[in-house]
Chains A and B, each alone.
Chain A
Amino acid sequence: MKKYLPLIVLACLAVLPLVGLSSYMLHMIVLVVMWSAVGMAWNLLAGYCGQVSFGHAAYFGVGAYTSGILYYKLNISPWWGIPISIVVVTVFSFLLGLVVLRLRGPFFALATLAMGEMMRVSAENLNWLTGGNIGILIQERTWIDKTYYYYIVLAIATATFLVVKYLMQSKIGYYFVAIREDQDAAESLGIDTTWYKTIALCISGALTGIAGAFYTNYMGYIDPHIVFALHDVSIVTIMIVMVGGVATLFGPFVGAIIMVFLAELVRSIPGLGVAHQTFFGILLILIIIFLPNGIVGDFQKIKRLFKFGGACK
C-alpha cells in the first residue's frame, strides 16, 4: 500500500480536472501543485542536506525572469524558458554556492536571505533588462483553459518528486543526510562536503527555477516584488515544508494544500484579508512549538494525540 501511495496520489491528481471543477478551483490546484514542487526543491536542500535557505525566491525569480526576458527581449516563446532556465539557474546557483556555501547554519540562512533581497533590488534597478518595477507582461496567452497548464505543472511536480526520491535513495542522498547530521563527521569520513552541498544547491535551485519559469507562463505577468518576494516566496516556501514535514517526501504537498487554501480562505474574510500573513505566522509558531517536524513528520504524534482524546501529549 505504502509503496503505491505516490502512484495513487498521482492518479487522483491526473483525473482531477475531469471532475468538472470551476476555473477558480483549478487555479487553486495549479498553485498547490506548483508550490509543492517548490517546497520539494527546498526540502532537498534544507530538509535533507540541512542547509536552510531563506532565499529561494532568488532561484524562483531567476527562473521566472529567464522566461520573461526571453519573451521581452528576444521575442522567443516563454515556454522555452522552462528548459533554458534549468541551465541558467544551475549556473546561477553554482556561482551563488561559491559564496554562500562557505557558511554554516544561521549564517548560511542569512546569506541566502541577503542574496534573495539583492536579486530583488537588482531586478528593480536593471531597467534595460527586466523592465524594472513595471515588470514583464506576456501579451499572448497560449491557452485560455487552465487544464493544459495544470497538466504541465503536474508533470513538473512529478519530475521534481522523482528527482528528489531517486536522489535520496542513491549514495548522494545518504551523503546529504550525513552532512545534515554532522558536517564535520561527514568531512572526516571522506565526503567532500562542499561539493555535495553545491550539488544539492544546484539541483534544488534548478528545480525551483523550473517552477518559476512555469509561473511566468501561467500568470502572464511578473515583477520583482512578486517573484523575488521575501515573504510571499522565500518564507512561504519554508512554511510549506515546515507545516507539511521537513525531510519527508509528501510533506511539501500536504503543506502546499494547507497553505494555499488557508491563504485563500483568510483573504476572503473582509477586514482581515490584508493580513493573511498573521495566520501564517501564528500557524508557523504553533507548528514549531508543537509539531517541529511538521504534520507528516510528526504524524505518529498526531495519531497518538487523537487516540488518547488529546489528554496527554
Chain B
Amino acid sequence: MESFLQTLIAGVLLGGLYALIGIGMTLIMGVMKIINLAHGELMMVGMYIAFWMFTLFGIDPYLSVFIASPILFFLGILIQRFLINPVLKVDSILPENQVILTVGIGMVLANLATIFFKSDYRATPVSYGTSAWYLSDYWESAPFDLSLSVPWTVSFVIAVAITIALWFFLSKTDSGKSIRATAQDLDAALLMGVNVKLMRVVTFGLGSALVGAAGCLFIPIYYLFPSMGGQFTLIAFVITILGGLGSTNGAIFGGLILGIFESMTATYVGMGWAPVGRFLIFVAALIFLPGGMASLLKKKRIGK
C-alpha cells in the first residue's frame, strides 16, 4: 500500500512536468499540423541555459525559467521563420518532409551541444536537491510513511502555474483566441482577419518557450547530457497522441496518465521496462483511442 501510494505520488509529480512538455508539442501540432521532432532537443537547450546560469552566475534553476523561456521563444521563431516556413512551400514527393526536417534540426542542436559542452553528464547541485517532506513529520500516527521530494514538488507546482497561465492566455486574450482559431480552421481564421502567418510563428515560439521552461524545471531533478533530447521528444509525442492532437486539455491528462503509468511500470515490472510501457500505451492509444483523451473529454462535455 505504502509503495503503491508513493509510486502514485511520484507518477503525478512526473506527469505534471510531462504535461508541460506535451502542451508545447500539441500547440505546434494543432496550429502548424506538423510534428516537431526537435522538441526534446529544444528542451535540452533550455536545460543547458539553466545549467550555465547556475554554474556561472549561481542563478537558481527555477529563476532561469524567466531567462530560458524568452531565449527559446526567439529560437523557435527563428527556426519556424527560416527553416520550416520555406519547406512548407516546397513541392516534393513525400509530404513528410517537414517531419524529417525537424529531425535534422534536432540532430544539429544535439550535436552542437556535444561539440560545445562535451558529452559529459551534468547536474545542478542545488542545496535543496535531496531534501524532502515526510508525512510522519506532520502526522505522528500515520499508518504509513510517505515522502515528498522538495525539488519535485516545487517543479510540479511551477508547471501547474505555467499551465494555468497558458490556459488564461489561450482562452481569455485576443492572441490566444487567434491561435486557437488558427488551429481549428485555418481558412476560416484567415477570413475572420486573423494574421495566420504571424500566429504560426508565435505558436512555434510559444511551444519552444514552454518546453524550455520545462527544461528549467527538470534540471534540479534530472541530469543533463547532449543526446537526452530524443527521449523527451518521444515522451512529448506519446503525450500528444494520448491527449488527442492539438488539444491542450488532453495533453494535461495525457501527461498525467503517462507519468503514473511509467512510475508504476518502473516499480512493479522493472526500471528498464519503463520505456516499453510508454510505447505500449502509445500504440494502444493509437489503435483504441485514435482521438486521444480529447475525444473522451468531448463526449463527457468537460472539455471545450
Question: Interface on A for B, CB 8 Å cutoff?
Answer: 46-47, 50, 52, 99, 102-103, 105-107, 109-111, 113-115, 117-118, 121-122, 124-125, 180, 230-231, 235, 238, 242, 246-247, 271-272, 274-278, 280-282, 284-285, 288-289, 292-293, 297
Give every chain A residue within 8 A of B272 (Cβ-Cβ): 121, 124-125
In the assembled complex, the Cα of A87 lies from the Cα of B115 at a distance in Å of: 43
Give per-residue flags for B55-71: 1 if the beta carbon is below 8 A from chain A beta carbons, else 0. 00000000000000000
Asked if B140 is at the interface (CB within 8 A of a chain A CB), the reply is no
The answer to whether A110 touches B107 (Cβ under 8 A) is: no
Which of B114, B237, B238, B287 lies in contact with A99, CB distance below 8 A? Answer: B287
Asked if B241 is at the interface (CB within 8 A of a chain A CB), the reply is yes
- Contact A106:B108 (CB < 8 A) given known A113-B234, A124-B272: no
The answer to whether A288 touches B110 (Cβ under 8 A) is: no
Which of B91, B101, B280 lies in contact with A288, CB distance below 8 A? Answer: B101
The answer to whether A278 touches B241 (Cβ under 8 A) is: no
Give per-residue flags for B78-105: 1 if the beta carbon is below 8 A from chain A beta carbons, else 0. 0000010011001111111101110111
* B25: min CB distance to chain A, Å: 11
Which of B87, B96, B119, B280 lies in contact with A52, CB distance below 8 A? Answer: B96
In the assembled complex, the Cα of A125 lies from the Cα of B272 at a distance in Å of: 7
Give every chain B residue within 8 A of A109 (Cβ-Cβ): 35, 96, 99
- Contact A235:B91 (CB < 8 A) given known A121-B275, A230-B230: no
In the assembled complex, the Cα of A231 lies from the Cα of B220 at a distance in Å of: 28
Give every chain B residue within 8 A of A99 (Cβ-Cβ): 283, 286-287
A-B CB contact pairs (8 Å), 28 listed? A102-B286, A103-B286, A106-B96, A107-B241, A111-B283, A111-B286, A114-B238, A115-B279, A117-B275, A117-B279, A118-B276, A118-B279, A121-B275, A125-B272, A230-B230, A272-B115, A274-B111, A274-B114, A274-B115, A275-B115, A277-B110, A278-B108, A278-B112, A281-B111, A288-B90, A289-B87, A292-B92, A297-B93
Give every chain A residue within 8 A of B93 (Cβ-Cβ): 47, 180, 246-247, 292-293, 297
Which of B83, B95, B112, B273 lies in contact with A289, CB distance below 8 A? Answer: B83
In the assembled complex, the Cα of A292 lies from the Cα of B100 at a distance in Å of: 11
Asked if B193 is at the interface (CB within 8 A of a chain A CB), the reply is no
Give every chain A residue within 8 A of B115 (Cβ-Cβ): 271-272, 274-275, 278
In the assembled complex, the Cα of A46 lies from the Cα of B97 at a distance in Å of: 12
Asked if B143 is at the interface (CB within 8 A of a chain A CB), the reply is no
In the assembled complex, the Cα of A278 lies from the Cα of B111 at a distance in Å of: 5
In the assembled complex, the Cα of A127 lies from the Cα of B60 at a distance in Å of: 42
Give every chain A residue within 8 A of B108 (Cβ-Cβ): 278, 281-282, 285
Asked if B232 is at the interface (CB within 8 A of a chain A CB), the reply is no
* B282: min CB distance to chain A, Å: 5
In the assembled complex, the Cα of A180 lies from the Cα of B94 at a distance in Å of: 8
Give every chain B residue within 8 A of A106 (Cβ-Cβ): 34-35, 96, 99
Interface centre among B94, B119, B275 (most CB of A within 10 A): B94
The answer to whether A102 touches B90 (Cβ under 8 A) is: no
Q: Residue of A at shortest CB range from B90?
A: A292
Which of B92, B107, B270, B282 lies in contact with A281, CB distance below 8 A? Answer: B107
In the assembled complex, the Cα of A180 lies from the Cα of B92 at a distance in Å of: 12
Q: Residue of B at shortest CB range from A102?
A: B287
- Contact A242:B110 (CB < 8 A) given known A114-B279, A124-B272: no
With A113-B234, A125-B276 already in contact, 15 other A-B pairs whose C-beta atoms are closer than 8 Å? A52-B100, A106-B35, A107-B286, A114-B283, A115-B283, A125-B272, A231-B230, A238-B100, A274-B115, A274-B119, A276-B111, A277-B110, A278-B107, A284-B103, A293-B93
Q: Residue of A at shortest CB range from B91?
A: A292
* B283: min CB distance to chain A, Å: 6
Within 8 A of A (CB), among B100-148: 100-101, 103-108, 110-112, 114-115, 119
Give every chain B residue within 8 A of A103 (Cβ-Cβ): 286
In the assembled complex, the Cα of A247 lies from the Cα of B96 at a distance in Å of: 14
